[in-house]
Amino acid sequence: MNLFPMFLKLSGRQCLVVGAGRVGEPKIAGLISAGAKVLVVAPRATEAVEQWARAGKIAWQPRSFSSADLDETFLVVAATSSSKLNHCIFREAQRHNILCNVVDDPAYCDFYYPAVVRRGALQIAISTSGQSPALAQRLRKQLEQQFGPEYQNWVKELGKARRRLMTCGMAPARRARLLHQLASQVPFAINVSRNTKFPDSGSVL
């Protein structure tokens, strides 16, 4: 199976999580972080999920799943303790053409959660197509050492430099070459926002 790698914009989109225990909680947290509108359906919830509901970060309905919960839903995560219920949710989602992930059950997933290294705007996602989550986690730990916290601010500075180059009237080929040169620097070997001189000042780098 060949997977199509992509990063989704979930801000403002309706997402459903069925199940609010220890398995569902981190999935809910990830959707909150992405700015999704999260509906949680579960008879019981962890303390963290209850707190998110009280704070208005999610809508929690303490009841059993209904197929009507899928109305106007962009994607759904099934995270209950019942495989039978999770598979039922997956089949209902398929009938509604809604992307579904049944946690820890690769055969019942339209998408997988990758292991992710996050450094601000920089995100590195690792997937084994559900074959070995343990390997994905090991690779994530290795990459976290390779790409340290300094990358968060460095990527931000590269973004500032890119915006300046995009507005200075430079030829596209030359601009692309400069952007690649900047990105090839060791993080903070130069301060790209302060020390980089652009063509309008008569010199480059």
Q: What is the pLDDT along the chain (205 residues), one digit of tens a residue?
A: 688 999 999 999 999 999 999 999 999 999 999 999 999 999 999 999 999 999 999 999 999 999 999 999 999 999 999 999 999 999 999 999 999 999 999 999 999 989 999 999 999 999 988 889 899 999 999 999 999 999 999 999 999 989 999 998 889 999 999 999 988 887 765 444 444 444 443 344 4
Q: Which class is domain 14-112? A: alpha beta
> Phi-psi category of 12—alpha, beta or left, where left has phi over 0 and alpha has psi -120 to 50?
left
Q: Which stretches does DSSP call E strand in 8-145?
A: 14-18, 37-41, 59-61, 75-78, 99-102, 115-119, 122-126
Parallel, antiparallel, or unpaired for β 14-18 and 59-61?
A: unpaired
- pTM, rounded to two decimals: 0.79
- 114-148 classified as CATH 3.30.160: yes
